[in-house]
Each structure stands twice: as structure tokens, then as C-alpha cells.
Amino acid sequence: MAAPPTVVFDLDGTLVDTAPDLINALNFVLRREGLPAVPLQSARNMIGAGARKLIERGLELDGRRVGLDDITRLTNDFIDHYAAHIADESRPFEGIEEALDDLLALGCRLAVCTNKLEWLSKLLLDQLGLSSRFAAICGADTFGISKPDPAILRQTVARAGGELASTVMVGDAGTDIGVARRAGVPVIGVSFGYTEVPIADLKPDRLIGHMRDLPGAVASLRNILVTR
């Protein structure tokens, strides 16, 4: 590998355990609609496709369907509440700060590519003291496209100043595996995130169960990057 890679991370379920605050915001919206709250554990795997989809999934649990105007209203209410409580209970996954610092020490360029809104992503990472480590933080609204569309990954890498040929994706769910495969990028799956389909079943190039193993997993992809 001629140069250290650009390592691009998903956010929710990969860098940060955001489920408590996301589900609290969802339940705030559901209760206002007279619907029952959803339990945190059973709702964790509903996360990952953005706020609108999370609300739609929450409504579907009670057999409720609403029109586009109502979904937009509920999404706006959700975002307002979530932004005010974005780091009440959300915390970086164990070992992430050390792993990021180790990668930076090796000369890696780091970026975030998420289906969360960009300003919410930056707000969260700012409050958790993580944002300064990333050369780019891009969300679904940054380029008007979402994962698994490979264009969002390509443009995130470009904004970070990296090269797609030396990029590694890190994520917890099918959208992350999908965006990496479509962009022709090797991908590391994390087993502690939010996914309806077990991440091992999606066959990432490497699979880790703790962030302490991330630098080694990135290094082990050297041959894949060299031969691409």
C-alpha cells in the first residue's frame, strides 16, 4: 500500500451508540400521536436509514400509516427533540477514541459517511469530542444522496482529500456493506451495531467485535488495497 488509507465510518451503531437518544426521540413523537412507546432493545435494529424511515417503522409497529404531510411534520418534531437531547445518553463505543488516534498516528485520513443529517452528525460528534479527528463529516443531505448509493461514499472520500483506491469502509449494517461493494471498496463490519440482518451474513471483508481490533483489521486489508 503506497500510502495509509482513508478510513470512512458509519456513525450510528459504528462510532457511537446513539440508540437511547434516537429511540427516546421516536417515543416522544409516538406518545404525542397517542401511540405506545417502543422498547429500546426491540427498536435498535430500526435505526440506520434516517429519521423519516425510523418514524415510519415506529408507526408500522402499531399498524399505523399516515400521509406524507404527517410524516414530514412528525420528522420535524423528531429532529427538534433529538437535536435538543442528542448526547443525553449517546456514547462512543468502547475503544473508539483509542482506535481513531491509532489510525491517525499511522497517517490514515478519517471521514464519516452517514444517513444522518450532516448538521446533526456534526452536533453529536462535537458534543462527544470526536469531530476534530475527521477530515470530512457527510450526511444524507450533504450531497442529496444516501447509502447505499455509492456516490455518497465517493464524494465523502473526495471531500476528505482521500483517494477511493485506498479507502476502507467501516460499518454495522447492510447499507454500509452495500455502499462499499458498489463503490468497489473493502469493508470492515462491526458486530455491535444496529442491523436486521446479522452483519456476518453480509460477508464483510473483515469482521470485528471491538474497536481495539480496528487498526489491525485496517492493516490486514493492505493486500486488498494494493491489488485493486
CATH number at residue 184: 3.40.50.1000
pLDDT band per the 50, 70, 90 thresholds, residue 1: very low
> What's the confidence (pLDDT) of residue 46?
79
Q: Which entry of 10, 12, 17, 172 is annotated as an active-site residue?
A: 10
Q: For 62-197, where are the alpha helices, taking DSSP H only?
A: 68-84, 96-105, 118-127, 150-160, 174-183
Pair 129, 45 in one domain? no
User: How many independent structural domains does the chain possess?
Assistant: 2
Q: Of 84, 99, 115, which one is at a domain's C-terminal end?
A: 84
Mean pLDDT, range 133-141, rounded to an integer = 97
| Phi and psi, residue 208, nearest 5° | -125, 150
CATH number assigned to the domain comprising residue 71: 1.10.150.240
Domain around 40: 19-84
Pair 53, 68 in one domain? yes
pLDDT band per the 50, 70, 90 thresholds, residue 62: low
Pair 163, 51 in one domain? no
pTM here is 0.91
> pLDDT tens digits for 189-222?
999 999 989 999 999 999 999 999 999 999 999 7
Residue 221 lies in a domain: yes
Pair 30, 121 in one domain? no
Known catalytic residue: 102? no
